[in-house]
Amino acid sequence: MKTLAGPCILMILCLCSSAEAATAMDLLRETAVSWTGALPCGGWDCECAFRSQQGCCCVAKPLFELEEATFIRLVGLWEGLSNLNSQIEEVTAGCKIAFTAAMLPMSGCLGPFTSNMSISYQSVSLNQGNGYNAALGTFTAPHAGLYFFSFSAYSKVGDAGERLYQKVQLMKNGQLIASSWEDNREDSEDSSTQTVLLQLRRGCQVYIELLSGRQLCGDTQGYNTFSGYLIYPFSEQ
């Protein structure tokens, strides 16, 4: 306290004249430079404090350190985002997969057969990703992911009272997933639609088959359809 009292008195005396004020400032600076105790701002440059604005000199070093730390953190965040973007592009590259196809118009009937028969939807209006094979009527997953599939079954017999006898089913690698059927002696035509979500590995096959003994008839407008698309991909473990 004694050491600080001297500078305080000198600061009061500096108001008397400009010459005395200059001498007082010199003495105050020398006293501050020689001070060995704790400084109010924690190690700031006394030369700077007496020649420039004290507020700037007190915080210059901490601000510089904060600026450097913020810049380094931003660089790290940018690198992380760049790596994440690269991973997303790697996973989704070539994953625009969608198809839709219909049976060719027919006035007669497809079937009946003595065994289940895969239906070939040969009128292809979309085959993005080339996953659908029109000759076989089979979709082969180009990439693992969650897929949406939909199929419609339509049949029309010649006269009312004739038997409408149809059943088609969606298959995944030979496993029954969903089906649609109609068997009555009243309607002359009928249709139905099924939709499913399937998790597929790369190479999994999905197709529609006509059940043995059943038939599809009178589809002159291509109402029998099969379509699907990739909702989102995922990496196989």
Same domain, 130 and 57: no
Mean pLDDT of 95-113: 88
124: containing domain:
98-233
Q: What pLDDT is attached to residue 85?
A: 77
Mean pLDDT of 162-184: 84
Burial pattern 137-172, b for ≥16 Cβ within 10 A else e, equals: bbbbbbbbbebebbbbbbbbbeeeeeebbbbbbbbb
Same domain, 75 and 130: no
- Provide the whole-model pTM: 0.60
Mean pLDDT of 212-219: 84
Backbone angles phi, psi at 88, to 5 degrees: -65, -45
**20-29, 171-180, 193-202: which range is least confident on average?**
20-29
Q: What pLDDT is attached to residue 161?
A: 55
Q: What pLDDT is attached to residue 8?
A: 47
Higher pLDDT: 237 or 61? It is: 61
Same domain, 84 and 154: no
pLDDT classification of 182: cutoffs 50, 70, 90? confident
**Domain finish residue from 91, 126, 143:** 91
Same domain, 85 and 138: no
**Domain finish residue from 41, 73, 91:** 91
Same domain, 198 and 109: yes
The total of structural domains in the chain comes to 2
- 13 pLDDT above the threshold of 50: no
pLDDT digit string, tens, across residues 110-141: 878 889 999 999 999 999 989 999 999 999 99
CA distance 122 to 101: 7
Same domain, 110 and 177: yes
Percent above pLDDT 70 for the chain: 67
**Domain finish residue from 56, 91, 126:** 91
Same domain, 129 and 38: no
pLDDT classification of 207: cutoffs 50, 70, 90? very high
Same domain, 86 and 160: no
pLDDT digit string, tens, across residues 39-87: 555 555 555 655 555 455 555 667 778 888 888 888 888 888 888 877 7
Same domain, 75 and 191: no
Same domain, 202 and 104: yes
Domain containing residue 163: CATH number: 2.60.120.40
Q: What pLDDT is attached to residue 108?
A: 83
Same domain, 153 and 196: yes
The answer to whether the CB of 121 falls within 8 A of the CB of 102 is yes
CA 141, 143, 145, 149 torsion-angle sign: negative
Higher pLDDT: 222 or 161? It is: 222
- 16 pLDDT above the threshold of 70: no
Same domain, 123 and 59: no
H-state helical runs in 41-130:
46-51, 54-92
Backbone angles phi, psi at 34, to 5 degrees: -85, 0
Q: What pLDDT is attached to residue 12?
A: 47
